Structure 1
Amino acid sequence: MQIISVISAVLIFGSLVECRVPSSSKLNNFDYTAINCRKHSAILTDFGAVGDGKTLNTKAFNSAITKLSQYANDGGALLIVPPGKWLTGSFNLTSHFTLFLQKDAVILGSQNEADWPELPVLPSYGKGRDATDGRLSSLIFGTNLTDIIITGNNGTIDGQGSIWWEKFKKGQLKITRPYLIEIMYSDQIQISNLTLINSPSWFVHPVYSSNIVVNGLTILAPLNVPNTDGINPDSCTNVRIEDNYIESGDDCIAIKSGWDQYGIKFGKPSEHIIIRRVTCISPKSAMVAIGSEMSGGVQDVRIEDLTAINTESAVRIKTAIGRGGFVKDIFVKGLNLNTMKYVFWMTGSYGQHPDDKFDPKALPKINGINYKDVTAKNVTIAGKLEGISNDPFTGICISNATIEMFVKKDSDIEMDAKKVKLPWNCTDVAGVTSNVVPQPCALLPDKKVDCPFPTDKLAIENVQFKTCSFKSVI
């Protein structure tokens, strides 16, 4: 099986060959890692771009990508964004293509809404998330593509989202805010080794796509701005998210698969996902959320070796009556948590709906949620697990978890007993626990078990990065 997995991974991402990347422009030679190397290359300035932070370069990006698209069947192409501040509106990628941001290169999102084209709503959502009408294209967008890489030497993509944050706060949006990077209906995607800041809404949104690697990102959003999720795989298959640092005003990572009746009808689950070695700061939301839009289903998610600091909750399940779908076979191990409101949090009443046409008989099925090896300090509530009446969350397993509760200083002790938080609060759930401190609720009795975590590897884990070289031709 191991040999078969490796062969499958090679077939997914291409053969391991040394690439040649000639260029007519003067740049220092450099190496980088990628799922595929490129035979051809160009530099953004070859197409008239000006990196002064003021000149709009949308035309230059589009011209460069259109030109390089002709090499899709001849080894692909690399577009290099050199140091500078490159203001642009939304632009579209092409297949067998790498967008590479050098160190000190900054792509700036235009703050003129006219520079962001309007798109139809996502079919699995049925409406824009911010407003009933359509939505704006992401800054970097692609659809129906194969083999797309967005990477660099820690270059920066700055969405300059403050104008949208302010409109959202004031209720002035007539169309849904753009994301920073969105790739739709695509296969073989790499997003890596970049700093992403100030997205108008979600940062990285692969949707209806497969074979995705997101690694080495630093994602920074103001901690008080809602819906600035870091990485949101949405109805995606075979996803690897690793070695990222995220500060967010919302979920650091959220796994989704469509909203109520629209997601049920579209019927594309998110599955075969591994998340590891991620650090999250999110005082108002989760380190990893599953849902709340999960109507197409979520299954086979593996989460390990994550750190959360000053974050509202760890790995959270969010759903509601009307969602339908399922969340099953979720495996979590190795959480290091410090300063949390909740450690374990599941919600069956996360009730926002796209419209009033949802089916109240569409009940989500939550089963097989496993946590092990959890260490948490300075916690307010150990667990708040709220299933749905007549539709309990089942198969919950928690083992080897040590939770140190938050203790106020003597001078700050609240004397009103009604305000003292319970360490556990459970309704409409069923499962087991083992070696958990403080003692869980009665609905999760101690059974001396070791909660499972898969020992096999997903095919996406076997994908190896190649060392690619850019060699300048002087």
Structure 2
Amino acid sequence: MKGIMTLVLVLLVVLSFGRSSECRNVKVLDQYSSKYSAMSCREHTASITDFGGVGDGTTSNTKAFQAAINHLAEIAADGSGAQLFVPPGKWLTGSFNLTSHFTLFLHKDAVLLASQDENDYPLLMPLPSYGRGRDGKEKDAIVGRYSSLIFGTNLTDVIVTGENGTIDGQGALWWKKYKKGQLKYTRPYLIEIMHSNQVQISDITLLDSPSWNVHPVYSSNVIIKGLTIIAPTDPVSPNTDGINPDSCSNVLIEDCYIVSGDDCVAVKSGWDEFGIAYAMPTQHLTIRRLTCISPDSAVIALGSEMSGGIQDVRAEDITAIHSESGIRIKTAVGRGGFVKDIFVRRMTMQTMKWAFWMTGNYGSHADDHYDPKALPVIQGISYSDMVAENVTMAARLEGIDGDPFTGICISNVTIGMAAKAKKVPWTCTDVSGGTNGVSPSPCDSLPGQAKTCPFPTEALPIESVELKACSLSVPARKS
């Protein structure tokens, strides 16, 4: 009897061990689904794990991302579209290129970790409207710049979105090298889309970019919404601009929260003689429901690289906290181009150095070959319905001798000065326009007037784009 019982116990142990071993080796598939809003929905879906991706924070996934996108580009070539799902995990990667009719979707617990190895970022030629890179030594800056982490060019219908998943630029090493002059080329951005149409970047978090965070350039019909962008606010993180629309048309930026070491939104269109020759303005841009913290720079900057022109910019419902300036226009002799038809309303500012700043003395030229006769045209600037508190100086408005800034209109604006504010709240040189209901009283070159400042009544086409209800469904692997 004892022998039989012993045999039964041994068999039970063996069977139990076999079952537990089998469970450890078999992958159980659970379906993961999500719904999101986008310009276009996709028929085909794949996960980065289908292409060998490993989300352990140390394995490089650059080849896996590019292989996945190349594969999805083939199966979506009929225009049906494809989406790549990035599941929970830390996915270390270098630069990779997007494709058309494509969505990159990040799970809420997914983190793309940007490689800190310069070799993981291919070199690109400088942008033609800039003529050189913005970083690096003179000779090397002319040769090239590092590709962005997520890059695309000549695309149609491309989307980067998710459930507020994270792209971590791990920028600290880049910032240190830049400050020490150890970089040959311009630092990579986190997302750059060039020469493209129908672009959406939404509902993700961007951390510690090596330089600019989001850079649509030479593109049209762009929606950027629901972004959280964060970088250190002191000089530790140089040039970590939040969103920089550059020579783009029909752009919507909305519902974004940005804490930046530089401008939160910087509107650009090329640099000096290169921007003048390329002649591609940024125009028809709406910015709304933006919250910004930028102690060392502007909430919204126009320039300084504005040589291709900037026109028809509408900004409304903006909250600025502890920032250097609310709206800043930056230009100089040699820039050429124009900044005109700029409309800003319903802006709330708290703890600012300047509420308004315009300067025609910005400098910082691409090279010594700029044309000193290329004077910028700054006209038709309207600010209305604003409240500011704890402000050191209401406005610093500096046009160019012989090239004044004209058509400045400021109405219904109340600026509460800080306890240690400047004795003269306004300084104005080479500017003209009018004001209505502004406190403290503006300078003499902006006298009182009966009219209030205009704001366009017709929406831009990009504001009327209705996002579709899209879905994503993939097997989520578990051990």
Counterpart of 2:277, as a letter, is K
Counterpart Cα distance in 1 of 2:308 and 2:78: 34
Query: What SS does the aligned partner of 1:183 have?
Result: strand
2:390 equivalent to 1:388? no
Decide whether aligned partners of structure 1 residues 390 and 41 sit closer, same or farther in structure 2, where only a CA change above 3 A counts.
same
What do residues 43-93 of structure 1 show as CA deviations (whole Å, max 9, x unaligned)? 000000100000000000000000000113241000000000000000000
2:63 equivalent to 1:59? yes
Number of the residue aligned with 1:180: 190
Cα deviation for residue 389 of structure 1 reads: 0.2
Find the partner of 2:307 among 295, 309, 332. Answer: 295
Find the partner of 1:217 among 217, 227, 242. Answer: 227
Query: What SS does the aligned partner of 2:396 have?
Result: strand
Counterpart Cα distance in 2 of 1:319 and 1:174: 27
Number of the residue aligned with 1:124: 129
2:115 equivalent to 1:103? no
Query: What SS does the aligned partner of 1:294 have?
Result: coil
Find the partner of 1:323 among 335, 357, 368. Answer: 335
- Write the mapping of 1:203-242 to structure 2, written as runs, cut at 5 A: 203-224=213-234, 225-242=237-254
Decide whether aligned partners of structure 1 residues 45 and 238 sit closer, same or farther in structure 2, where only a CA change above 3 A counts.
same
Counterpart Cα distance in 2 of 1:464 and 1:446: 42
TM-score with structure 1 length normalisation? 0.92
Number of the residue aligned with 2:285: 273
Query: What SS does the aligned partner of 2:32 have?
Result: coil
Counterpart Cα distance in 2 of 1:27 and 1:75: 22
- Write the mapping of 1:21-60 to structure 2, written as runs, cut at 5 A: 26-60=30-64
Cα deviation for residue 267 of structure 1 reads: 0.4
Query: What SS does the aligned partner of 1:29 have?
Result: strand
Count of equivalent residues: 441
2:165 equivalent to 1:155? yes
Contact 1:435 1:448 (8 Å CA) reproduced? no
Q: Which has the larger radius of gyration?
A: 2
Counterpart Cα distance in 1 of 2:450 and 2:353: 27
Decide whether aligned partners of structure 1 residues 72 and 179 sit closer, same or farther in structure 2, where only a CA change above 3 A counts.
same
Cα deviation for residue 473 of structure 1 reads: 6.5
TM-score with structure 2 length normalisation? 0.91
Find the partner of 1:286 among 292, 295, 298. Answer: 298
Counterpart Cα distance in 2 of 1:234 and 1:255: 6
Cα deviation for residue 421 of structure 1 reads: 4.1
Q: Which runs of 4+ in 1 moved over 4 A?
A: none
2:94 equivalent to 1:89? yes
Contact 1:424 1:441 (8 Å CA) reproduced? yes
Counterpart Cα distance in 1 of 2:384 and 2:422: 27
Counterpart Cα distance in 2 of 1:299 and 1:435: 26
Counterpart Cα distance in 1 of 2:70 and 2:30: 22
Find the partner of 1:439 among 438, 441, 454. Answer: 441
- Write the mapping of 1:70-81 to structure 2, written as runs, cut at 5 A: 70=74, 71-81=76-86
Cα deviation for residue 27 of structure 1 reads: 3.5
Cα deviation for residue 396 of structure 1 reads: 0.1
Counterpart Cα distance in 1 of 2:135 and 2:104: 29
2:156 equivalent to 1:146? yes
Counterpart of 2:321, as a letter, is I
What do residues 366-408 of structure 1 show as CA deviations (whole Å, max 9, x unaligned)? 0000000010000000010000000000000000000000014
Counterpart Cα distance in 1 of 2:384 and 2:419: 25
Counterpart of 2:387, as a letter, is T
Query: What SS does the aligned partner of 1:296 have?
Result: coil
What do residues 311-343 of structure 1 show as CA deviations (whole Å, max 9, x unaligned)? 000111100000000000000000000000000
Cα deviation for residue 171 of structure 1 reads: 1.9
Counterpart of 1:260, as a letter, is D
Counterpart Cα distance in 1 of 2:267 and 2:99: 25
Identical aligned pairs, as a percentage? 65
- Unmatched segments (≥5 aa) in structure 2: 1-27
Cα deviation for residue 226 of structure 1 reads: 1.6
- Unmatched segments (≥5 aa) in structure 1: 1-23, 409-418
Counterpart Cα distance in 1 of 2:93 and 2:464: 36
Contact 2:32 2:475 (8 Å CA) reproduced? no
Find the partner of 1:360 among 345, 352, 372. Answer: 372
Counterpart of 2:274, as a letter, is Y
Counterpart Cα distance in 2 of 1:326 and 1:118: 31
Counterpart of 2:117, as a letter, is N
Contact 2:262 2:296 (8 Å CA) reproduced? yes
Number of the residue aligned with 1:467: 469
Counterpart Cα distance in 2 of 1:301 and 1:74: 33
Number of the residue aligned with 2:10: none
Query: What SS does the aligned partner of 1:114 have?
Result: helix
Cα deviation for residue 448 of structure 1 reads: 2.2
Counterpart Cα distance in 1 of 2:411 and 2:31: 54
Number of the residue aligned with 1:193: 203
Cα deviation for residue 172 of structure 1 reads: 1.9
Cα deviation for residue 470 of structure 1 reads: 1.9
